[in-house]
Structure 1
Amino acid sequence: MNSPSGNRPLWLGTLLALLLTLVPGAAAVTAAPAPLNAAPPGVLPALQQWEGGRGTVSLDRDARLVVPSGSSEKFVGLAREIARDAAELTPLRLRVTVGTPRRGDIGLALDPDADYGKAKPALRAESYRMTVADGRVRLVAGGEKGAYYASRTLLQSLLGSPGRQTLPVGTAVDWPDYAVRGFMLDVGRRYFTPEFIKSYLKWMGWMKMNTLQLHLNDNGFVGKDGDWSKVQAGFRLASDNPEFEGLAAKDGAYTRKDWDSFEDTAADSGVTLVPEIDAPAHALSFIRFKPELGLNNGNSDHLDLSKPESTEFMKSVYREFAPWFRGPAVHIGIDEYPREYEAQYRDYVNTIAPYVRGLGKKVNAWGSFAQMSGGGAGYDKDMTLNSWNNGWYGPKGAIADGYDVINSNDGLLYVVPFADYYHGQGLDGRWIHRNWAPNIFGGDQNLPAQDPKLLGAMPAVWNDLTEADYTEFDVHRLVEKSFGALAEKMWSPTAAGTDYRAFLDRLHTVGQGPGTGYLPDTLPKPDPADLAYGRDTAASSSETGGLGPDKAFDADPKSRWASKYTDDQWLQVDLGTARHLGSARLSWESAYAKDYDLQVSDNGTDWRTVAEQRGLTQAGTQTLDFDDVTARYVRMKGLTRGTSYGYSLYSFEVLAAGS
């Protein structure tokens, strides 16, 4: 009989195999082990703890997502939601089933007693473990919210893999450092569509943020003529109760059906809604409805608290809408009332707070007692306070008076779209990532990290400019600049380290998540070959704080760096480590350089010139090629300005050799 490989007898192959086992050194060479997965999956927020293994696990397109027998319908529903999200983001078409996971499966289970690292007891329900090993994935969480967050880590990990089906072997243990990881949106002054709000709830869940506060009523500012009748005002809930007919804003309000859709989406996204109905200040919408309740015969946005009817009316509003709200808390506002009415204000607070609790809700409020009364003595203590201004009621004073606080510091965390105060162009994501944490309030008000009375943080968007022409998508563009950095720092201020470029790479990979197609992705998209994007920068000078050196390295074509008006100015970037370079691309604003050198350095001190530009006659984009060089620092050294202004660059890209 002939062998399949030709005329060689079968016994000869057997003999050769035996000889190989007997001859030293003749055995087959063992394959080198796969490298250790030292780097954690590129998720956002960054993982608290990662122990890497070797190799990967690739999931089949129709892999099973398995929950234990006896799981509640709600938990099975969560598994189905995860499967839908996976289908939107990856090639996977997971099959949800009940039973015991096997090789090739994703297991999803609850175990309140599992090891969740350094998670606080109160936050174990939001904590989870993800183990990738032995050809399978196991997600275990302390509660259903933790299971949801585990699924976000699973999906984000897949997004960073080839084909979006592969995971690195290893174990992640993750938990939040703070209970409140929030965001506040002022819809009172400007209507936002239900689609926008539901998309934000999905986006927040994707980023493991867990609290959305909606500021449901407010108004603009009175003009010099003092006529409040000309000022925009809005209350955004529309009841079908005839008692409140005419209270809802005519330019947009949310029905009970709308609000139910918000609550449903929030529940599916691991987010709690906190509705805010603000009084006795910011109350013009209520005074329009009942002019007799306002100060100055209704020409005011302050309720007249000398009239018992004012307090009774606000009770009726809370009573009407409290049944809409599924979350545990209602925010009652109580900020910025005139101090001259301090006694009436205190009586109002001490009446409304227990009344709202009597409706089954915890009470949140804006901290205002230092400005109103010199402190919290005599005020209801069973409230959680947003510490929004260190003068009105700083966190140290509020905590000393017995309150739990949430960081909503105005100087650090307020965005007022397109205003020339606070952060009119959005928060600086780089600054947030490098310098901020929930315990940072500024001045002498910073708290110890994870102070037990500090619940977390809640940045805010205030639409003060009621007459300005902008859209909800314009607001989104401002918010998106820092949203990821805020989410990261509220989950864990330290887990991600300080490499902002690495953070940006993760942010671009994970995107805004499933169910957010209504929201445009407005983040600038850098050239993949640009080594300078998001790196540390320095400059000899900046014309203003908003024209700093980082603006030339943020991939935003609308931002720019600008120097003082002298010739000897420079702009540099630290690439983080020595890189192999071959060219640079500079995009000049109208204040261009006539003559400049492109220089590199290994240490940021000793410079060598690799390219020269002489006699430039107009602004625009220039690409400077040079012989390949290895260096860590790159700078533009101005020699002669092309105009009477300084130097100004929209972008300064440093490109890898051969790119």
Structure 2
Amino acid sequence: MHRQAVQLVGGVALALSLSVPSAMADPVPTNTDSNAKPAVVPALQEWKGGTGSFELHRNSRIVLAKKQGDELDDQGARLSAEIEQVTGRKLDVSPRTPQDGDIVLSIDPTLADAAGGARFTEEGYTLTVTDRNVTIAAPTAKGVYYGTRSLLQILLLDDGRASVPVGTAVDWPNYKVRGFMLDVGRRFFTADYIRDYLRLMGWFKLNQLQVHLNDNGFKGDKPWSQVQAGFRLKTGNPALAGLASADGSYDRADWDSFEDTAAANGVTIIPEIDAPAHSLAFIRFRPSLGLHNGESDHLDLSKPETTAFMKSVFDEFVPWFRSPDVHFGADEYTVDKPRYKVYFNEMAAHIRALGKQPRAWGSLSIMAASADGYDRDVTMNSWNNGWYGPQALKRDGYSFINTNDALLYIVPFAGYYHGHGLDGKYLYDQWEPHVFPGGQSVAPGDPQLLGAMSAVWNDLTEATYTELDVHGLVEPTFGVLAQKMWSGTKSGVPYSAFLDKVRKLGVGPGLTKVATTLPASASGEVSLGKEATASGGEAAAAFDGVRTTRWASGPGDEAWLRVDLGKPVAISKVELDWAPSYGRDYQIQVSRDGEKWTTVAARTGREAAGTDTLTFEPVTARQVRLVGTQAGTKRDGYALWSMRVLEVPDLALHRPATASSSEVASLGPENATDGDAKTRWASAYRDGEWIQVDLGTPQTVQRVLLDWETASGRDYDVQVSDDATHWTTAVSVRGKPAGARVDELAFDPIKARYVRIQGVKRASTFGYSLWRFEVRSMSPDPA
């Protein structure tokens, strides 16, 4: 135990908390002498816990197995940089014999696992931890890479970021395809964004990025000449000059960078060039190839030159593609079924002649009375049960991928297909790759089912959202999808705890364009994203909620870090997450005006990195600062991963909640008190609905926060009770505007066990819907 001194400041006892957060590991096994399975996303398939831990130290290295330098050099150098970003410790890379404290990487083609089978052989790994070394061994370099992702995540979630529990993991994916599809045809995404998404996919062990390279908007009431169309590959071949979109395209250098990044992150890029529908970009380039003299987004398959042109496009670009598979689209063509069949078969054969395995969107239930005569050696995306569902695909003998539109499509900000992101709770609790709607599910591990793939379709071509807005819709469920595709239900924790892990893991190291939109905020945290200043270094890094960024003061014993909360807040706790350059002696000070400061907590004699929680009597403050007086090492100064300022506790957090109704089971009242700002309660579509929370024991209540979704309350009462039968109105709210908003309501202190929001009148035709329902015992003191 590191020596710590707890001081009394102003008569306040300062408590130290260095406990491991509850979501850092799966539930402790019944044999409490063995280490619990460490938490990673996706969860490990198998774990045999030992006792004790491995600790990184000053002389730890990354050691590459003998004679494997050429195969592992890049991984070793990268892992060194990533460990420095995640832990603040720089490790050398060495080909020498491992010593105590080293991390060993090894490719061993003889490794096998009966349970993992072929999936282990292709992508699996073992993670063996003793108190002396960590060894990652795998049959392939890709498996070693996945093992390093697990190691980095374990370190990132460890308090102190230096410890790995002793034990042995054997890990592999359940499914061969664990994918994501991005429509860049309708909306251009920058090359930096594509490269970052390949890194993000590797972080969560997703392994296929399908890039939908051409498409167009919907006609509506416009002429086709005014409809957006895009093709995103740019070649120097004069025969195709002008085919690439003027508003953004990728040249060969861009594409090579995508392939290099994909290979380094365990990802395969599946390029898709979609025809004979969705082909307005090709028709703009060659109007004679379109139906109705070019007034269509469908190609005219009656003309031999149409198929010849499409073959020439694949001839030009397939040499760019390193994937063994190439997708030729073939979806939603609603005319000329006999010629569609000929086109389908010719293009599949042509892609095979170019050395690739063809893929297509499943459409045969609409396009054919049966699959007779269709090329069966094509991998299909099962995207819609009506167009070609899994049971029909199974009957006809196709290998297929679950890309079901009802469950896995996002059309950003549309009123259909999950316009605001996929339903993460449903996916986590009820979905796996074998699950399809409408009674079409197949057996888990069905040999024809290769896996699953979520998709973003940018249908709203005239909308003004950005690529980062799309990331904000995708990120919340990326970890969930990865979990269900890799090891299914083996996460072993409820959705809220799983999402807490995902928040802490963020988007991984090494990204340049994309940042997490799910900052790892604590319940009641009031400093996240607030304006910060410091005596030196990047102050904002301590308040951005990202666990891989840090504030560093520079050398010296004297330094300070300050955050402006934006308004007076009743606070009672500060949490510090120290990097290796920790503070030995420091104080927490508060101010209302930024000039007069009061010390509310202090620490002396700290001797290690990790978390320090300082609790004090509630006080009203707008500014909060850390003042360092002695660094652990003067030449290094101070470095913090985060500084969190927390208001007085939310008495409703994780307490039982009930309601008069719920729109659907997944929108239950518990979502309003789970501390997750991404889950919500929604009532039936009636006035007069209510939600209440049981605080457990009578508590002094003085403030309620209601974070309304668009379906908000216009008129409602905040009521309290001792028995959930007899209610007293604490405050009445009337005439609130329609739309999403946050209502913060303060009233005279009342002691009660139950707090209820009693609806009177809705602000919309929907019901009542709350992201958060918080109850607190104190309001900020008046100035």
Give the TM-score of the pair, scaled to structure 2.
0.72
Q: Secondary structure at the match of 1:152?
A: helix
Indicate whether 1:414 and 2:409 are aligned.
yes
The residue that corresponds to 2:73 in the other structure is 76
The residue that corresponds to 1:85 in the other structure is 82
Deviation at 1:375, TM superposition (A): 3.2
Q: 2:271 aligns with which of 271, 275, 281?
A: 275
CA distance in structure 1 between the partners assigned to 2:514 and 2:715 by the alignment: 39
Q: Would the aligned equivalents of 1:586 and 1:621 in 2 still touch at CA under 8 Å?
A: yes
CA distance in structure 1 between the partners assigned to 2:661 and 2:197 by the alignment: 38
Q: 1:47 aligns with which of 40, 44, 48?
A: 44
Distance 1:565-1:57 versus aligned 2 partners, 3 A rule: same
Indicate whether 1:556 and 2:552 are aligned.
no
Q: Secondary structure at the match of 1:345?
A: helix
What letter matches 1:359 in structure 2?
L
Q: Secondary structure at the match of 2:53?
A: strand
Deviation at 1:351, TM superposition (A): 0.6
CA distance in structure 1 between the partners assigned to 2:699 and 2:348 by the alignment: 63
Greater fraction strand: 2
Distance 1:280-1:124 versus aligned 2 partners, 3 A rule: same
Q: Would the aligned equivalents of 2:62 and 2:105 in 1 still touch at CA under 8 Å?
A: yes
Distance 1:327-1:348 versus aligned 2 partners, 3 A rule: same
What letter matches 1:616 in structure 2?
S
Deviation at 1:429, TM superposition (A): 1.2
Greater fraction helix: 1
Q: Share of identical aligned residues, percent?
A: 48
Distance 1:37-1:61 versus aligned 2 partners, 3 A rule: farther
Indicate whether 1:485 and 2:467 are aligned.
no
CA distance in structure 2 between the partners assigned to 1:626 and 1:550 by the alignment: 24
CA distance in structure 2 between the partners assigned to 1:531 and 1:386 by the alignment: 48
Distance 1:579-1:186 versus aligned 2 partners, 3 A rule: farther
Q: 2:185 aligns with which of 183, 188, 195?
A: 188
1:292-347 superposed Cα distances (whole Å, 9 cap, x missing partner): 00111111111100100000000000000011001111000000011x41110000
Q: 1:318 aligns with which of 314, 319, 323?
A: 314
Q: 2:364 aligns with which of 352, 364, 369?
A: 369
For structure 1, list consecutive stretches of 5 or more residues without a partner in the other structure.
1-33, 601-606, 630-634
CA distance in structure 2 between the partners assigned to 1:261 and 1:462 by the alignment: 24
Q: Would the aligned equivalents of 1:586 and 1:649 in 2 still touch at CA under 8 Å?
A: no
What CA RMSD, in Å, does the superposition of the two structures yield over aligned residues?
Answer: 3.1
Deviation at 1:434, TM superposition (A): 0.9
Deviation at 1:55, TM superposition (A): 2.0
Q: Would the aligned equivalents of 1:432 and 1:485 in 2 still touch at CA under 8 Å?
A: yes
The residue that corresponds to 2:713 in the other structure is 591
The residue that corresponds to 1:505 in the other structure is 500
CA distance in structure 1 between the partners assigned to 2:415 and 2:182 by the alignment: 19
What letter matches 1:409 in structure 2?
N
Q: Would the aligned equivalents of 2:291 and 2:298 in 1 still touch at CA under 8 Å?
A: yes
Q: Secondary structure at the match of 1:565?
A: coil
Q: Would the aligned equivalents of 2:145 and 2:266 in 1 still touch at CA under 8 Å?
A: yes
Q: Would the aligned equivalents of 2:401 and 2:449 in 1 still touch at CA under 8 Å?
A: yes
1:123-174 superposed Cα distances (whole Å, 9 cap, x missing partner): 4221111121132111111211110000000000000112211111222221
Q: Would the aligned equivalents of 1:415 and 1:462 in 2 still touch at CA under 8 Å?
A: yes
CA distance in structure 2 between the partners assigned to 1:611 and 1:113 by the alignment: 70
CA distance in structure 2 between the partners assigned to 1:656 and 1:113 by the alignment: 62
CA distance in structure 1 between the partners assigned to 2:506 and 2:656 by the alignment: 23
The residue that corresponds to 2:328 in the other structure is 332
CA distance in structure 1 between the partners assigned to 2:100 and 2:776 by the alignment: 44
The residue that corresponds to 2:770 in the other structure is 649
Indicate whether 1:614 and 2:730 are aligned.
yes
Q: Secondary structure at the match of 1:484?
A: helix
Deviation at 1:266, TM superposition (A): 0.3
1:521-561 superposed Cα distances (whole Å, 9 cap, x missing partner): 21265543668779997643246899764663564389774
Distance 1:648-1:499 versus aligned 2 partners, 3 A rule: closer
Q: Would the aligned equivalents of 1:125 and 1:143 in 2 still touch at CA under 8 Å?
A: yes
For structure 2, list consecutive stretches of 5 or more residues without a partner in the other structure.
1-30, 525-649, 737-742, 779-783
What letter matches 2:297 in structure 1?
D
What letter matches 2:706 in structure 1?
S
Q: Would the aligned equivalents of 1:610 and 1:626 in 2 still touch at CA under 8 Å?
A: no
Deviation at 1:510, TM superposition (A): 1.1
Aligned length: 608
CA distance in structure 1 between the partners assigned to 2:730 and 2:752 by the alignment: 21
The residue that corresponds to 1:295 in the other structure is 291
Distance 1:228-1:344 versus aligned 2 partners, 3 A rule: same
Indicate whether 1:241 and 2:363 are aligned.
no
Indicate whether 1:569 and 2:690 are aligned.
yes
Q: Would the aligned equivalents of 2:671 and 2:680 in 1 still touch at CA under 8 Å?
A: yes
Deviation at 1:644, TM superposition (A): 7.7
Q: Secondary structure at the match of 2:733?
A: coil
CA distance in structure 2 between the partners assigned to 1:365 and 1:294 by the alignment: 21
- Larger mean CA deviation between 314-323 and 548-557 belongs to 548-557
Q: 1:228 aligns with which of 215, 224, 229?
A: 224
The residue that corresponds to 1:171 in the other structure is 168
Q: Would the aligned equivalents of 1:305 and 1:344 in 2 still touch at CA under 8 Å?
A: yes
Q: Secondary structure at the match of 2:109?
A: coil
Deviation at 1:585, TM superposition (A): 4.4
Output aligned runs, 1:425-574, within 5 Å.
425-497=420-492, 499-523=494-518, 526-528=521-523, 539-542=659-662, 549=669, 552-553=672-673, 555-556=676-677, 561=682, 564-567=685-688, 569-571=690-692
Deviation at 1:412, TM superposition (A): 0.6
Distance 1:506-1:558 versus aligned 2 partners, 3 A rule: closer
Distance 1:241-1:531 versus aligned 2 partners, 3 A rule: farther
Q: 2:96 aligns with which of 95, 99, 102?
A: 99
Indicate whether 1:344 and 2:339 are aligned.
yes
- Larger mean CA deviation between 557-566 and 121-130 belongs to 557-566
Output aligned runs, 1:6-21, within 5 Å.
none
What letter matches 2:362 in structure 1?
G
The residue that corresponds to 2:636 in the other structure is none
Deviation at 1:483, TM superposition (A): 1.1
CA distance in structure 2 between the partners assigned to 1:464 and 1:126 by the alignment: 35
Q: Would the aligned equivalents of 1:35 and 1:55 in 2 still touch at CA under 8 Å?
A: no
What letter matches 1:651 in structure 2?
R
Distance 1:56-1:498 versus aligned 2 partners, 3 A rule: closer
What letter matches 1:503 in structure 2?
F
What letter matches 2:379 in structure 1?
T
What letter matches 1:641 in structure 2?
V
Q: Secondary structure at the match of 1:614?
A: strand
Indicate whether 1:379 and 2:374 are aligned.
yes
Distance 1:643-1:82 versus aligned 2 partners, 3 A rule: closer
- Larger mean CA deviation between 115-124 and 270-279 belongs to 115-124
CA distance in structure 1 between the partners assigned to 2:151 and 2:96 by the alignment: 20
Deviation at 1:567, TM superposition (A): 3.0
The residue that corresponds to 1:260 in the other structure is 256
Q: Would the aligned equivalents of 1:182 and 1:457 in 2 still touch at CA under 8 Å?
A: yes
Deviation at 1:441, TM superposition (A): 1.1
